Amino acid sequence: MEKRPKIAAIATIYHKYAHAQHIVDRFLEGYGWNSRHHYPPMDLVSLHVEQVKDNDLSRDRLERFPTMKGYPTIAEALTLGGEELAVDGVLLIGEHGEYPSNEKGQRLYPRYEHFKQMAEVFERSGRGVPVFNDKHLSWNWEWARKMYDISQDMDFAFMAGSSLPVTWRTPSIDMPLGVPVSEAVCVGYGGVDSYDFHALETLQCMVERREGGESGVKWLQAYRGDAFWEAHHTELWSRELFEAALCRSHTLTPSRPGFNNPFPTLDELKEIVKDPIAYQYKHNDGLKSTMILMNGLVQDFNFAAYIGSSDEILSTQMYLPMPPARTTLANFFSPLVNNIEQMFLTDEATYPVERTLLTTGLVAAGVDSLFNESTKQETPHLDIAYQPTDESTFWRT
Amino acid sequence: MKRIAVVTTIYRYLSHAQHFADRFLVGYPKEGRWHRPNMKVVSLYVDQKPEGEQSQDRAREFGFSVYPTIAEALRCGGHKIAVDAVLLIGEHGEYPTNEKSQVLYPRYDFFKACVKVFEEDGRAVPIFNDKHLSYSFEKAKEMVEDGHRLGFGVLAGSSLPVTWRLPDVDLPLECEIEEALMVGVGGSDPMDYHAMEAMQCMTERRKGGETGVAAVELIDGEEVWKAGEDGRWSLELLEAALSRSDTPCGLTDEDGRTQDMIGNGEIYRLVENPAAYFIEYNDGLQATLLMLNGAVRDYCFAAKLKDEPVPVSTQFFLTPTPNVTYSACLIAKIEELFETGAAPYPVERTLLVSGALESCLTSRHQGHVRLETPHLNVEYRAPAESQHARR
């Protein structure tokens, strides 16, 4: 019988609907997958939770799953209380919990700090094991880059990012591999330094499949409020693509009372969306991508791009079954956990972490642009070229 | 440009008439574009006009007339039929319920009023009938026969067969199905109807096509679980269907956890009054609809195919309110009927489901007896091409 990998989970907090609950629970309780209730063929043996508050669920999980032990430090969770690394894979879930924000509005989640503590154990043990880092790498670009460099230097499999690239799509399509893409747009919702990241991952998981692969990003500029509407009016991004993306939404706020699904006029858009935000960025190969947050108008993530030699539109929605309003389970975590499982079993990331390194830098550049009166941010440090996987990795089965 | 008459029970916010007819007025999302049908609503008949209803508002804004009778709506106030298609929506509004708890929506009466005009005026036009054809199979059968007799296209049914699926799968045409199972929720009727039609749009693709239903039985309460243990329906298929659900209740509601609801026994605790609708087809296929209120809140299907080790399963995705974009998927099919005169999939599906549901409810009313259903010898072939939302 194959040896079952031992997994450690390092989380900031573990409460209902925290990312740790969604991810770790799937390793413990199993999840619906391909017509079965699937139990990952591995054991979550150790858990470190940094913040334990009244709503904590980690104690319940430790009690109900006695093969998993709680540890007071990250190092102990990785060594199982011993001297050396004693697990075969690590989940780093630095999302949710009470952490301060900086003057730019970035929540200072300790992803880098946790990663560093983990890397010290790897260093001391003379080996690393596969690591999944939830969401972007760090709020601080320099630190994010260090995380990536350490994984390269120590040569362990490293995956990170959002569920958006791997969840269901309606329609269930992918960007054809190697097709020319001249412009791409994602229309989503949520806040700066949070859901902007999901929208950027939505864009990147599609455009990275274009002719030549990802070439890196030259500059980024943010638009907000009146500047957004001015840019929309002058078509700094394609209005046709923006509208195509909206036509994939299942959650368009009705712009007229008594109608359940009309298409909004520009005046109605302005009435509905009080604080529109866009990050537009130029890739090194000339592609223009625009991430748009339309809070109030939609509650889903929709992608549209001009592809091919005749600028045909390709569009889809990355669907999030989002609790508690629409579902009870955040099942977009199921394909994410399934990809993580594959990495733990094979020691290979199922998609490139360079995607998330790039989107991490794009979030930071977007935040910087907004903080600096929407000025254009040159991004020579985002000269991150990478190739996509040949096979699609989103949820299709 | 095709001219459409809307014949409905009630036109108010979030009624079927509102979100169906409105899509002909303001357009709808279709294959990534905002699509505006090249047809015009020219007349409306509405049976009930309570306070807050919208028919007069819509008529004024979109330039059509509301007529006091169905005949006048079809003739646009003149002497001859003056429309090219009828959108018949007998859903919502206050109507009595019979002893089998069927709501007596006047779909048959509305349909027959249209047929009378067709016959008198010597011209028949396509009709879309929302949901099942009638609470009575005899009436439903007559409606379908009218279509064949006068040569007009009839399309009917639910949005579930044509909405998005998670995952995007269909049963392979001419596959050999060993057993099928559907999980549904909601009241009876109407929601059992939606679930049953979702199941039917899958099973009809089996080898040899649809052969009709030989017998039905509806059981409820603890007997449902006992029937599962006895192998009358498949626990493996229930697990497969539940693997597609995004809405397990109980412990998931409490703390967000995923759960194996069969393994941990929660499903037996959560469902206060389970019901199983057993459908025995003429070719021997057994299909079961489980109505599991309290356990989940979505519609999932599973089937065991011959020589396939793992069941096929999917969720019929009912997209969120108020957009209910699943109804846009159905409008695209209605538009195709109106444009071409031919139904994109056979109305016999809805006829069979109308009858099978009626017989299930009769079974319940008669003390959960097994009822042979020789009258449900409805044979038809599914279209080769899948009809659900995929683009």
CA distance A69 to A48: 9
B79 and B133 in a single domain? The answer is yes
pLDDT in tens, B241-263: 999 999 999 999 999 999 999 99
Q: Do B258 and A26 touch (CB under 8 A)?
A: yes
The pairing of beta strand A312-318 with beta strand A169-170? antiparallel
pLDDT at B52 over 80: yes
**Interface contact A66, partner B, CB < 8 A:** no
DSSP, collapsed to helix, strand or coil, labels residue A327 as coil
Tell me: do B67 and B126 sit in the same domain. yes
Task: Give yes or no for a contact between B126 and B337, defined as CB atoms under 8 angstroms apart.
Answer: yes
Query: What is d(CA B216, CA B376) in angstroms, rounded to the nearest whole number?
Result: 10
Q: Are B151 and B48 part of one and the same domain?
A: yes
Last residue of a domain, one of B111, B139, B157: B157
Confirm whether B68 is domain-assigned: yes
B107 and B225 assigned to the same domain: no
Range of the domain at B106: 2-157
Quote the minimal CA–CA distance from B188 to chain A in Å. 22
Nearest CA distance, B182 vs chain A (angstrom): 13
Q: Are residues B87 and B25 in the same domain?
A: yes
| B171 and B24 together in one domain | no
Beta-carbon contacts of residue B28 (< 8 Å; ≥ 6 apart): A261, B34, B35, B325, B328, B331, B332
Identify whether B181 is part of a domain. yes
* Closest-CA residue of chain B to A55: B255
What topology is assigned to A6-161 in CATH?
Rossmann fold (3.40.50)
Q: Do B205 and B306 reside in the same domain of the chain?
A: yes
Of B157, B182, B204, the last residue of a domain is: B157
Q: For residue B383, give the amino acid letter.
A: P
* B390 interfaces chain A, CB cutoff of 8 Å: yes
CATH of the domain at B108: 3.40.50.720
In this predicted structure, what is the pLDDT of residue A1? 55
| Residue B308 at interface with chain A, using a CB cutoff of 8 Å | no
Cβ–Cβ < 8 Å for A199, A293: yes
Q: Identify which of B358, B219, B214, B327 has the alpha carbon closest to the alpha carbon of residue B279.
A: B214
**Nearest residue to A371 via CA among A171, A139, A205:** A139
Q: Are residues B150 and B6 in the same domain?
A: yes
Whether residues B193 and B149 fall in one domain = no
The CATH number covering residue B301 comes to 3.30.360
- Inform me whether the C-beta atom of residue B328 falls under 8 Å from chain A C-beta atoms: yes
> Is B358 among the domain residues?
no
How does residue B21 score in pLDDT terms, banded at 50, 70 and 90? Answer: very high
Residue A226 DSSP one-character state: H
> What is the pTM (predicted TM-score) of this model?
0.97
- B82 pairs with which residues across the strands? none
Last residue of one domain, picked from the residues B316, B337, B353: B316
Mean pLDDT by 10 residues, chain A (397 residues): 90 98 98 98 98 98 98 98 97 97 96 98 98 97 98 98 98 98 98 95 98 98 98 98 98 97 98 98 98 98 97 97 96 98 98 98 98 98 98 97
Asked if pLDDT for residue B20 goes beyond 70, the answer is yes
CA of B310 to nearest chain A CA: how many angstroms apart? Answer: 7
Within a domain: B196: yes
Q: Which positions 206-245 of A are in contact with B (Cβ < 8 Å)?
A: 243-244
Q: Is A54 on the interface with B (CB under 8 A)?
A: no
- What is the rounded CA–CA span in Å between residue A255 and residue A271? 9
pLDDT of residue B323: 98
Cα distance from B86 to chain A (closest Cα, Å)? 22
Give CA angle at A209 (A203, A214), nearest 5°. Answer: 80
Residues B172 and B138 in one domain: no
**DSSP collapsed to 3 states, chain B:** CEEEEEEECCCCCCCHHHHHHHHHHHCEEECCEEECCCEEEEEEEECCCCCCCCHHHHHHHHCCEECCCHHHHHHCCCCCCCCCEEEEECCCCCCCECCCCCECCCHHHHHHHHHHHHHHHCCCCCEEEEECCCCCHHHHHHHHHHHHHHCCCEEEECCHHHCCEECCCCCCCCECEEEEEEEECCCCCCHHHHHHHHHHHHHCCECCCECCEEEEEEEECHHHHHHHHCCCCCHHHHHHHHCCCCCCCCHHHHHCCCCCCCCCCHHHHHCCCCEEEEEEECCCCEEEEEECECCECCEEEEEEECCCCCCEEEEECCCCCCCCCHHHHHHHHHHHHHHHCCCCCCCHHHHHHHHHHHHHHHHHHCCCCCEECHHHCCCECCCCCCCCCCC
* B235 and B295 share one domain: yes
Domain boundaries, chain A: 6-161, 168-324+359-382
Q: What's the CA gap between A334 and A323, in Å, rounded?
A: 14
Smallest CA–CA distance from A305 into chain B, residue: B32
The string of pLDDT tens digits covering residues B125-163 is: 999 999 999 999 999 999 999 999 999 999 999 999 999
pLDDT band per the 50, 70, 90 thresholds, residue B61:
very high
* B128 and B193 housed in the same domain: no
- Tell me which chain A residue has its CA closest to the CA of residue B241: A35
Q: Report the number of distinct structural domains present in chain B.
A: 2
Instruction: Return the CATH number of the domain spanning residue range A168-324+359-382.
Output: 3.30.360
Q: CA of A305: how far to CAs of A166, A181, A351, B225, in Å?
A: 18, 7, 21, 50
Q: What does pLDDT average to over chain B?
A: 97
